[in-house]
Amino acid sequence: MHKQAPVANNKPSPSSRHAGGLLRRFCRNTGGNIAVSFAMVMLPIVAVVGCALDYAQANRIKTKLQSAADAASVASVSSKSAGYLAASAMLTNGPVPAGVAEANKIFNGNASTITGYNGLSETSTVTKTGPTLASSVTFTAQVPVMFLKVMGWQTLTVTGTSSANSSLPLYLDFYLMLDVSGSMGLPSTNSEQTRLAAINPDNFVQYPTGCTLACHFTPQNSACTDSGTQQYPTNNYCMGYAYTRVSQSALTSLVSMKSTKSAPKQVPGLPTSMVSGLPASLNTDPTWGMSAVSSCPTPGTDSCIQLRADAVGYAVNQLFSTANATEKVASQFRIGLYPFIQNLYAYFPLTSAIDGSATNPSTINYAAANLASQLDTNTNGNLGSGGTHIDTAFSTMNSTIVSVGNGSSAVNTLPYVFLITDGAQDPQIKGVNSGPWSGSNHATVIDPTSICASLKNRGIIVSVLYIPYAPIQNPNPSFANDEDDAANNNIPSIPPSLQSCASSGYFYTANTPADITTALNAMFNHALVTAHITN
């Protein structure tokens, strides 16, 4: 059998393959170049990262210091701050040291809790300009660096500024022009008119169902007589007003009694006592004495019959309460009462003391509560008598307001005029005490162009509260040249004339005693808003 020779194996052995691989890898290996290149690339990367860390630290410090500056600038002009109070009392523009001291104190106090900086400097300014208080807080600090030192830097400088401003409380004067002519002596509501008509003895021949207008004079003996005009003897006095000041149940009991010596309808001397020393006892007789109230803030009570002037007086006192609650600095608001009939006069001149007691005769609060005492008495020479002379009142008010400021200080006050009226202009005049009547007694309306423009042209806001002229119940065409119907027919023309008189947006209407209070407060708040927008 023939055997074939073995064929030689040409594949390399495992050991030779390993050695060859090592050789080839060695020949291809460039690891040394990579290391060098990586080192060269990493240097700028490390520098950039280091710089970023230094800058990030500086920004963190700046943010904290900026927050301290923001807190200082805002707090130094806040409404309760020392700077705000000091600026409010300043009479001129300029820097406010108390505000600067407060800003510095707040900034430094907050900055002291922050670490990582040195060389801090700070500058604050607080300045009053008109009704605006502005503050500015600027700071500079040095933040040490680490990585940037290789580039020659030792610190980074951080700076910042914070500004804030606020509106200072404006000093406002409110001149209240209060209509106290005869029609404001009408009862405040229809139901109050009905109550007065049921008990009023005045002008009974002309008004057998009870008089509510043209019989509203405060007690005096020139308009009412016993010669066939009164329902029963009154010693020649008009009793309508006096009867609205006493207990209605007690009065009804008195006048309903038979005319006997022991219990007459009119106790001897009663009207005289009623008109002497109000609000003292109306009668010193212990049996028939009735204590009169000096004001009547609420309709429908037994103690009195509320007149329109009573309702206005009550609302004015509520206005005082609103002003006191709104006041941000002492003496910010001054209010004065200026009633008018034939003339306008300072019943209680401008005062900032508006938080007194309504029972203290020395206060404006008492004067407001007793506004009905200013109703057409035919004896008050300051007011005159007869008609409603709104034109004269505006002329006098224009002279009363000497200057018009911007409200930035107590000597630069911004004036507002509040006209509170039923709007019936009546040109008639009554002589004081027993003087004669003159002029037409037919109601008309004002000419706003000639009457109100003088104030508005000076930049004075005229705010008007219209108390609608309630139609007179039971008019008598044959009495006083039919003044009742003339008054009723004039009513539709009143609102447009008053609206034209008022500054734009400042016309208000109040139909009830509660509405009067609400409207007066709205007028006050409207004035505050407008004053800040204007200034």
Helix count and strand count (H, E) for the chain = 16, 12
> What integer is the mean pLDDT of 488-500?
92
Strand partners, 143: 156
Is 50 exceeded by the pLDDT of residue 156?
yes
Question: Residue 2 pLDDT > 50, yes or no?
Answer: no
**Predicted model pTM:** 0.78
Q: How far apart are CA 463 and CA 130, in angstroms?
A: 24
Query: Rounded CA gap, 187 and 191, in Å?
Result: 8
- Distance in angstroms (rounded) separating the CA atoms of residues 278 and 446: 34
pLDDT score for 266: 53
| Mean per-residue pLDDT over the chain, rounded | 82
Nearest-angstrom CA–CA distance, 438 and 428 = 6
- Tell me: the pLDDT tens digits for 461-482? 999 999 987 777 777 787 778 8
Q: Give residue 21's pLDDT.
A: 57
pLDDT at position 281 over 80: no
Rounded CA separation 237/202 (Å): 8
Do the Cβ atoms of 393 and 177 come closer than 8 Å? yes
Least confident of 27-41, 46-60, 69-83, 100-114: 27-41
pLDDT of residue 168: 86
Q: Please say if the pLDDT value at position 218 is more than 90.
A: no
pLDDT grade for 294, boundaries at 50, 70 and 90: confident
**Residues 84 and 73 sit within 8 Å (Cβ to Cβ):** no
Task: Identify the pLDDT of residue 23.
Answer: 46
**pLDDT computed for residue 284 by the predictor:** 46
Per-residue pLDDT tens digits for 385-408: 888 899 999 999 999 999 999 898
**Which pLDDT band holds residue 50 (cuts at 50, 70, 90)?**
low
Q: How far is CA 235 from the centre of its chain?
A: 48
**205 pLDDT tier (thresholds 50, 70, 90):** confident
The pLDDT score that the predictor gives to residue 4 is 39
pLDDT computed for residue 235 by the predictor: 66
Q: What is the DSSP letter of 217?
A: P
Lowest mean pLDDT segment, chosen from 261-270, 406-415, 446-455: 261-270
Identify whether the C-beta of residue 214 lies closer than 8 Å to the C-beta of residue 203: yes
Q: Which domains does the chain have, with CATH numbers?
A: 46-167 (no CATH), 172-186+307-534 (3.40.50.410), 189-306 (no CATH)
- Of 533, 534, 522, 513, the closest CA to residue 189 belongs to 513
The pLDDT value given to residue 178: 97
10 or 287: whose pLDDT is higher?
287
> What average pLDDT does this structure show over 1-24?
47
Q: What confidence score (pLDDT) does residue 353 get?
A: 97
What is the average per-residue pLDDT within 299-308?
93
Average pLDDT for 56-69: 94
Q: Could you tell me where the DSSP H helices lie in 291-349? A: 308-326
Report, as an integer, the average pLDDT of 179-201.
88
- 320 pLDDT exceeds 90? yes
The lowest-confidence range among 35-39, 222-226, 324-328, 506-510 is 35-39
Model confidence at 279: pLDDT above 60: no
Q: Encode pLDDT of 94-135 as tens digits.
A: 999 999 999 999 999 999 999 999 999 999 999 999 888 999
- CA distance linking residue 303 with residue 187, whole number of Å: 14
Query: If you average pLDDT over residues 28-44, what whole number do you get?
Result: 52
| Arithmetic mean of pLDDT, 483-508 | 92
Task: Give me the pLDDT at residue 356, please.
Answer: 95
- Single-letter amino acid code for the residue at 482: D
**Whether the predicted pLDDT of 314 surpasses 60:** yes
